[in-house]
Chains A and B, each alone.
Chain A
Amino acid sequence: MPGEADRPRRLLPGAATPYLLVLPAAAYLALFVLYPMVQAVRLGVTDAQGAWTLEHVRRMASDLYFWPAVRYTLLVTALAVPLQVALALCIALLVNTRFPGHTAFLYVCAIPLAVSDLAAGLIWLSLFTERGYLNAALVQWGVLRSPFNFLSYEHPAWLVGAIVTTEVWRATAIVMVVLVAGLQLLPRDYVETAAVFGANRWQTLRHVLLPLLRPSLQTALIIRTVLAFQLFATVVTLSGRLVPVLAGETYFWYSLYRNPHVASVYATLVLLLSALFTWVYLRTLRPEGEGA
């Protein structure tokens, strides 16, 4: 039969098609992501002559800023990411009720997406400094008699608070966009069925929407956590190096100390931490029924 004879000929290109389609992206990733990544890791464990060494790792670990950088990176991530996800979920649920004007509300909430992290840092710096807008307003309203110094080395907690506030303002939008998209994909039937069985709003959210949103939440958490480890410009703008973070140390070792080796070790550490957290999220937030 002609169909039978055709089959092997169609099968071969058919099987190769996905690989051919993936090839450009794979080549791009290999050349511009994988290759530099391998280079960076190698730079961190070899000396100027190219011999293997752990000297750079030792220098990183014994540096004055290393442990504070690890601590503050984890602290800022642990404070900012849950806040962002909770706030984004609220906004997404609100948008999903499709109240009049919800499109305009969505766009307004998404504005910070267009602001670079450095610009966001500068905006909030102009609010928080001694001569900033916040102090001017508080003095004007009679809340304070003289300006209060929010960004002082004497109150590290205030500094962290300012950083977390800026981060929440800047990056909640991206989580919100992911969650709004996820919510809109859910069929209305589930919610309607829940209503038929007499579930109230909270029960619908807790037992119907959140479990169905799991894949979107997973994506949002991975994106946010990975980006939080790269956090740098806002922190440096608001706190100098008093609140050191890993990505900032990478930059300082490269551009201030002119030591690309130790900078590479820092970069590799950020990579490993990102990979670790991504793996944890992938495992713990696995959609139900997938081999749990």
Chain B
Amino acid sequence: MRRALRWGVLLVAVLALPAWPGPAGEVVFTSNQFTPVEEQEWARNTLLARFTQETGIGVRFVTENEGPYVDRLLAEARSGRGSIDVTGTLHGIFPVLVAERVVRDMGEIQRQLDARRDRTFYRDLLAVSRIEGMQAFVPWMQATYLIAARREALRYFPQGRNPMRMTYDDLMQWGQNIREATGERRLGFPVGPRGLYGRFLHGYAYPSFTGSQVKRFKSREAVTMWQYLRRLWGVTHPSSFRYEFMHEPLLLGEVWVAWDHTARLLPALRQRPEEFVVLPSPAGPRGRSFLSVVAGLSLTRWSPNPEAAVRLVEYLTRPSTQVLTLQGVGFFPVSPEAARVVPTGGLKVMADGVAAQAGAPDARTALLPIGLGARTGEFVPVYVDTFRLIAIEGRPIEDVLAAQARRLEELYRATNAPCPPPDPPERPCRPD
């Protein structure tokens, strides 16, 4: 009798096991964001741990550099099945994922999110999320690139000029003033192989000087711009060719004025918020152009656990989670509801700079090129190689521009891609 009872208890226990409030499945979430170790740790132990606590759904988070990250998605897409449920990456990578049929149309999920009425998304970000006639992602977080400077360097800023309204001429004069006063070159750019200087060339300098990213690549204004960049390189720290994350030379004191991605400046501001200021990128003859970097979330077409995946997307885009993300890794909100929360410390310094850049009367948003498909990775090297040939190796500007324009033209002709804004969207784009 007692034995039968014991068996009975065991049987009930076994039958009840699936109903036990344990983890309700698992979602696999891949990304090429949050790759630095501290960010990974934060994503796993804070961001995603809270989701698991709330829903009982475990998250397996895989973050890798862009190459292996995209390869994993494409390999699963080609085999038609796989384990990835949700993927989060930059707007510029989504065209590849759409072309290779990796991600599904997120329109329906967007409508579900909108129906909750607890969040809205900036309209221009939603516009960017539409690729090839479908909504490729739900906006997740955003970033930009701007200038961080040591407060003591402001002493050398050109007299009578306003740093918050800086022009490219001011920047040059600033670098020259520092050099004359200290004998050192203290401007810094991330020109290292994995640095993001290429973004400065095509998204900041080109549109600010020529009003174009591609079409006026070898125009007269472009020649003037390259003459300027060559002179600017002369007041730039001579180790800039190996800088990849500008917070490092900023904290070391090798560089006093640095341009980089917000996430790559933030560690310096976090460590010593009182020592740094954040300034908008400079303005040129054609306005103050800057790049807006948007990251989005999407479900894979083969997601094994789509319901849990949708819940993860809902959690990650919730305004309170967006604030958490800003505080944790310095990516800015995509919802006005989250943007109203005022940050403190280094984040406040950064947020003020971002607002000053986006809110400047002459601000012009440039977007990353799209439509280059599998050859997206070849766009930026054209600009970086041009810089190397003209500024570092000192080759004749017109010849280099003519040769590099042919590369750009071939790339656009082969992919039949449209010009990125501010150029008119003609297809294929062609440098004049």
Contact = CB atoms under 8 A, between A and B. Distances in A.
A259 B377 contact: yes
Contact of B239 (A64, A149, A252, A258): A149
B381 A149 contact: no
Contact of A153 (B70, B241, B376, B389): B241
Contacts of A240: 191-193, 241-242
A116 interface: no
B253 interface: yes
Contact of A255 (B65, B184, B381): B65
Contacts of B241: 153, 239-242
Nearest to A62: B407
B372 to A, nearest CB: 10
Interface of A: 64, 129-131, 146, 149, 151-154, 236-242, 248, 252, 254-259
A239 B192 CA distance: 8
A64 B254 CA distance: 29
Given A151-B242, A257-B378, A259-B378, A252 B193 contact: yes
B238 interface: yes
Interface of B: 65-67, 70, 183-184, 191-194, 238-239, 241-242, 252-254, 374-378, 381, 385, 388-389, 392
- From B253, B374, B375, B381, residue with most partner A Cβ within 10 Å: B381
Contacts, number: 64
Contacts of A154: 238
Contacts of B374: 258
A134 to B, nearest CB: 14
A258 B375 CA distance: 7
Nearest to B240: A153
Given A255-B65, A258-B67, A129 B254 contact: yes
B193 A64 contact: no
B158 to A, nearest CB: 25
Listed from nearest, the 10 A-B pairs whose CB atoms lie closest are A258-B377, A240-B242, A152-B238, A255-B67, A240-B192, A241-B193, A257-B377, A131-B252, A240-B241, A153-B241
B239 A255 contact: no
A257 B193 contact: no
A147 B375 CA distance: 43
A159 B15 CA distance: 69
Nearest to A256: B377
Given A153-B238, A252-B193, A64 B385 contact: yes
Contact of A64 (B242, B252, B378, B388): B388
A131 B377 CA distance: 34
Nearest to B389: A64
A146 B381 CA distance: 36
- From A154, A238, A256, residue with most partner B Cβ within 10 Å: A256
B239 A242 contact: no
Contacts of B191: 240
A64 B390 CA distance: 13
Given A146-B183, A239-B242, A240-B192, 16 more contacts: A131-B252, A149-B239, A151-B239, A152-B238, A154-B238, A236-B193, A240-B191, A240-B193, A242-B242, A248-B193, A255-B67, A256-B194, A257-B377, A257-B378, A258-B377, A258-B378
